[in-house]
Amino acid sequence: MPQTNLESPQDLLRFQLRTALTMEDDSLAALKELAGAARSADIKKLFRHHQDETKEQIENLRRVFTLLELPESTAPSPSTKGISKQAQSLLNRSAASLHDQVALSCALGNEHYEISAYQSLITAVTPVHAEAAALLHANLDQETHTSEELLTRLQEMAG
């Protein structure tokens, strides 16, 4: 039975870790959709590359569960579900000529959410386990790099 009340820092860490796993699973699905919506081969390639990174991030999260001796599980991530719904809504309203820009913009919003999630997790796990913190830092570094890439591409499109 899932825990509904968080009563300790450990409960919060466990819940945030479970939510992060869902977040990355949701992101993987969203990246596939965004790659499909993108028109340019270059943007499609960027999303496929981040799909590969996301798979690595999922593996890192699974290792963190093991290192912290927690059972691997997920918890709902309404934020990532909402970001995906927003992306789909914007794509449905946008002219095909805007799909690359819309896809990049939506992906950027998702990256910012992931960055904040990893920052919180790192803060919670650092006093507990250095190796787990290093894995989370690796994920954060990838998310930060992707965010910078997406922003650069958006700025190039803006002229």
Report the pLDDT value the prediction gives residue 3, as an integer from 0 to 100: 55
Condensed to tens digits (0 to 9), the pLDDT of residues 71-81 reads 999 999 999 99
For residue 36, what are the contacts with CB-CB under 8 A and spacing of at least 6?
none
pLDDT at 39 over 60: yes
- Does residue 27 contact residue 117 with C-beta atoms inside 8 Å? no
Count CB atoms within 10 A of the CB of residue 121.
24
- Does residue 74 contact residue 25 with C-beta atoms inside 8 Å? yes
Q: Identify which of 159, 155, 153, 156 has the alpha carbon closest to the alpha carbon of residue 34.
A: 153
Report helix, strand or coil for 126: coil
For residue 47, what are the contacts with CB-CB under 8 A and spacing of at least 6?
31, 32, 34, 35, 38, 103, 107
pLDDT at 86 over 80: yes
Supply the pTM of this predicted model: 0.93
Task: State the amino acid at position 58 in one-letter form.
Answer: I
Condensed to tens digits (0 to 9), the pLDDT of residues 17-36 reads 999 999 999 999 999 999 99
Q: How far apart are CA 149 and CA 158, in angstroms?
A: 14
Report helix, strand or coil for 63: helix
Report the pLDDT value the prediction gives residue 119, as an integer from 0 to 100: 97
